Amino acid sequence: MKKLAIRKPFICFLLLTTIVLSSNAQDQKREFYQLKTYTVKDENQESRMDAYLKNAYLPALKRANISDVGVFKFRPNNYLLANKIYVLIPFKSLEQFSKLDDMLAQDKTYVSAGTDYINAKYDNPPYERINSTLMRAFTEMPQMRASAVEGEKEDRVYELRSYESPTEATYQNKVDMFNVGGEVELFESLGFNAVFYAEVISGDRMPNLMYMTTFSDMKTRDAKWESFFSSDKWDVLKNDPKYQNNMNKADKLLLYPTEYSAY
């Protein structure tokens, strides 16, 4: 009996250690994403930004072992000024994110190819403003999946959504609705071709989450959303008392990938 009494706490300690290590290992697999939004004022700035991203920035990211970088613009719209360029960058860790600028500064090929952008004069900048949002992938989709949708790039629809919540607690409830409640699973079952689902950890619309789904064309996009809203699963989920009032604003952007975007 004495021998068992000695071993029991030790066994419990081993089990607890195993659980913690397993949890940490799973947590470390979750990627981080930076969404850089460049605002441009005219075609000259847009052309300069395209040249910089295509010939300098994206190639440099590849040399830094960062691939699957998406670059998107607004789909033509009579009510929305197409003056933004969205760059979505995946990172394996926050350390990789924090070291990127130093790595770029030491990349001679990047510095040479990006000279118009890097050394732009104060009275002739290549953009108006940069907005940056930092995110961490959901547990239900810990890594980005570059979209495999086919067809002409100009016909594709990349839908970027941001869901804002009234408080941090209601925001976490909405995140749980995606992960534990099965909203991610529902999107997957209906073939929404998600690129990522993520928690915003630094941005200007917090507390909020963001995600991107993709479609071959607008007709397919509309049909998929119709199937989502008419599904039995969504009817149950949206009426579940524990998931009520967890969102007070939804923004959606319909984008298309540039010709030099990775997907």
pLDDT, tens only, 204-262:
999 999 999 999 999 999 999 999 999 999 999 999 999 999 999 999 999 999 999 99
For the question of whether the overall pTM of this predicted structure is more than 0.95, the answer is no
Cα distances (Å, whole numbers) of residue 132 to 52, 85, 159, 194: 18, 12, 18, 21
pLDDT in tens, 93-129: 999 999 999 999 999 999 999 999 999 999 999 999 9
Q: Are strands 84-91 and 157-164 parallel, antiparallel or unpaired?
A: unpaired
Preceding peptide of 59 cis, ω within 30°: no
Please give the single-letter amino acid code of residue 205: R
